[in-house]
Structure 1
Amino acid sequence: MIKKFVYSQKVAPYVFVLPFILIFLIFWFFPLVNSFVMSFQDRMLGQDPKWIGEANYSKLLTDKVFLTSIKNSVVYMLGTLVLLIPFPMLFAVMINSKLMMGREFFKSSFFLPALTSVAVAGTIFRLTFGEMEGSLMNSFLGLFGVEPIKFLKDGNWSMAALLILACWRWTGVNMLYYLSGLKSIDNEYYEAASIDGASAWQKFRTITMPLLKPTTVYVTTISVYAGLAMFTESLMMFNGNKSPQNIGLTIVGYLYRQGIEQNKLGYAAAVGIVLLIIAMVINLTQLKFSGMFKKEED
C-alpha cells in the first residue's frame, strides 16, 4: 500500500525532490531566517539574547571599519570582473582554435591552480609579496634596481596582490566555462561569415561574443558572489584577520571578526544580512541589464 502510494504519478515527483527541499530548508532557509532574527538582537554565546530592534543596522551606518570592508570587497569584486571575464574568454577562443597545438596541455595548465588549496596558495603569495628584501617579488624587482616594496602594507599593492592570486586560481575555471559555451556554437555561423569575407575580429565581435552571452552572465553572477564573499585569501595573505589599517579586511572578514573573534553574534548577523542584500542587488541589476528577465519573443 505504501509502495503503491509512493510510486503513484501524483506523489512520485515530490518524493524525488524531497531531499533537495530538505537540504534547502535545513542548510539555507532556516539559517537565513535565524540570522535575520538574530540581526535585531544583542546576542552572545552563553547569554540570553536581548531584542534591540534596528540598533545593529544603525550602528553599521556609522561604523568606519565596516564601510572600509565594503569598499575593499567591492573594489576586489570589480577587479575580478575586469580581469576574470575578458581574459578567460580570449584564452578559451585561442585554445578552441583549430590552429592551436597542445590544447589539452594548456587546459590542464590553466585549470591546475584551481586544485591548489587556498590556504597553500595564500601562504605562497604572502611569501612571494613579502616585505623582506629576499622575497621573490622584491628579488625580481631588485634585478632592475628597484628598491624593496612593502606590498602587504600598502592598500593598492595589497589589492593588486589579491587580484593576482584570484587570476592565478580562477582564470582556468572561467576559461573552461567559456570553452563549454564555444562548443555549443554551430560552426556554420563562422563558415557563413567567412564566405561574406568577415575577419577574425568581426567573427569574434558579431558571432562569438553574442552567442557566449549566457556563459558571460553566468560567469559574472558567480564572480560577483565570489568577489564579495572572499575571505580566506585575505586571511592567509595577511597571516590573520588584522591587516595594517584594515587594508585587506573584507565584509566576510569583518563578519568573522565580530561573530567569532569578538562574540558579537547579533552584530555579525546584521553584517551578513547587509552582505546578502548587496550581493542580491548587484546580481539582480546585472541580470536585468543583460536581458535575462525578458521573455523570448515567439
Structure 2
Amino acid sequence: MIKKILYNKKIVPWIFIAPFLIFFTIFKAYPIIYSSFLSLHEMQGLSGREFVGLKNYIELINDSNFLKAVWNNTKYMIGTMITLIPIPLIFAVLLDSKHCKGKNIYKTILFIPTLTSLVIAAAVFKILLYKGETGIVNLLIGYIGIPPQKWLINPLLTIPSVVLIATWRWTGMNLIYFTTGLTGISKELYESASIDGANMLQRFYYITVPLLKPIIIFVATLNLIGGYKLFTEVYMLWDGGASPGKSALTLAVMMYRTAFSYFELGYASTIGFLMALIILILSLFQLKLTGFFKEN
C-alpha cells in the first residue's frame, strides 16, 4: 500500500509540498484570516470581544496618527527606492568591469552589513548619530564644511536617518541581486555596442538597465514591502518608537503600541490588516506599472 502511494505520480508531489502547505496555513494564512476576524471586534485585552462591524476601520481611516504613519512609511519607502536601487546597481556594474581587481573582497565588504542584526545596527547608529549636535557622523560631515545636524531630534531628519541605516545594511544584498543578473548578460552585446560607437553611459542605459529590468522590479518590490513593514529601527532609535512629533511613527510601531501598550487587540488587528492591504495593492500597482504582467 505504502509502495503504491510512493510511486503514484499524482500523490507524491503533494507529499513533498505538504510541509510547506502545513506551515503556510498555520503561520501565514490562519493569522491573516483570524486578524481580519478580530478587526471586526472591539477587544480590551483577552477578556472578551464585542462585534462592531466596520467601526474600527472607520475610526482608523479618520485617525490622524494612522494617516501620519502611512505618510511616514511612504517617505521611507521612497527614500529607500532612491538609494537602494541606483547605488547597488552602479556598484554591481563597476565590480563587473574587467578593470576591477579584487572583486570578491569588495563584495564581501559591502555584504557584511547585511549579516548584522537590525537591533545591533540601530543601536550603533544611535551612537553615531546621537541625540544632539555631537556624534561621529556630525564630526565627519564637519570636515567637509557641513554644520552639525540634530539627526534624531529634528523631525525633518528622522526619516532620512532611518533611510541611512537601510542603505548601509541592504546595499550589499541588492548588490548580489544585480551582480547575479549581470552574469546573464552576454559580453558580446557590450562589445558590439562599443564597435558601433556607444559609450559607457549609452551601454548602461540601452543594454544593462533593460536586461536587468526583472531584477530591478524584484528589488523595487522588496523595498516597497520593507518600506511599509518598518519597525525595528524606529523602535530602537527612539526608545519604543517615541520619535519627535511622531515624525517617524510607522504602521508597525502604531500597531505594536495599540496591541501591547493599550491592549486594544481589535483595533491593532485593523491596523495590521490595512497595512497588509496597502502592501498588496501598491505591490500589484507597481508590478502593473512596470509591465510585469504583460505577455512577451
TM-score bracket, normalised by the shorter chain, equals over 0.9
What is the CA-CA distance between 1:18 and the residue it aligns to?
Answer: 1.0
Question: How many angstroms apart in 2 are the aligned matches of 1:270 and 1:283?
Answer: 20
**CA RMSD of superposed structures (Å):** 1.6
Aligned partner of 1:65 in structure 2 is 65
* Superposed displacement of residue 154, structure 1: 1.4
Letter aligned with residue 178 of structure 1: F
Once residues 69 and 124 of structure 2 are traced to their aligned partners in structure 1, the CA distance between those partners, rounded to angstroms, is: 24
C-alpha distance in structure 1 between counterparts of 2:53 and 2:120, whole Å: 42
Matched, 1:278 2:278: yes
Q: Residues 235 and 241 of structure 2 are in contact (CA less than 8 Å); yes or no, is this contact kept in structure 1?
A: yes
Q: 1:146 offset after TM fit, Å? A: 6.6
**In 2, Cα distance between equivalents of 1:94 and 1:219:** 19
Structure 2, unaligned stretches of length 5 or more? Answer: none
In the alignment, what sits opposite 2:97?
A: 97
Q: Determine helix, strand or coil for the equivalent of 2:48.
A: coil
C-alpha separation between the residues in 1 aligned to 2:116 and 2:126?
15
Per the normalisation by structure 2, the TM-score is: 0.95
Please name the residue that 1:77 is paired with. Answer: 77
Alignment of 1:86-235 (within 5 A): 86-140=86-140, 148-235=148-235
Distance 1:138 1:131 in 2: 11
Q: Deviations over 1:4-52 (max 9, x none)?
A: 2233112111111111111111111111100001100012333111100
Given that 1:131 and 1:148 are in contact with CA atoms closer than 8 Å, whether structure 2 keeps it comes out as no
Relative distance call for 1:6 and 1:49 in structure 2 (3 A) is: farther
Deviations 1:113-146 (A, max 9, x none): 1111111110111111113454223334555787
Q: Match for 2:26: what amino acid?
A: I
- 2: CA distance between counterparts of 1:86 and 1:142? 26
Q: Which secondary structure state, in structure 1, belongs to the residue aligned with residue 241 of structure 2?
A: coil
Shift of 1:78: 0.6
Q: Contact between 1:221 and 1:283, CA under 8 Å: does it hold in 2? A: yes
Rounded Cα–Cα distance in structure 1 between residues aligned with 2:190 and 2:28 = 44
One-letter identity of the residue aligned with 2:80: T
TM-score by length of 1: 0.95
Percent of aligned pairs with the same amino acid: 37
Letter in 2 for 1:254: M
What is the distance in 1 between the residues matched to 2:206 and 2:165?
32
Tell me the equivalent position of 2:254.
254
- Paired residue secondary structure (2:9): coil
Distance 1:108 1:251, change over 3 A: same
**Deviations along 1:61-95, whole A, 9 cap, x unmatched?**
22111111111101000110111111111110000
Letter of the 1:2 counterpart: I
Deviates more, 1:48-57 or 1:134-143: 134-143
C-alpha distance in 2, partners of 1:53/1:133?
Answer: 49
Residues of 1 paired with 2:150 and 2:199: CA distance?
46
Letter paired with 1:252: A
Distance 1:161 1:6, change over 3 A: same
Secondary structure of the structure 2 residue equivalent to 1:154: coil
Q: Give ranges in structure 1 of 5+ residues lacking alignment.
A: none
Separation of aligned partners in 1, 2:202 and 2:141: 40
Letter in 2 for 1:261: S
Q: Distance in 2 between matches of 1:50 and 1:250?
A: 27
Alignment of 1:30-49 (within 5 A): 30-49=30-49
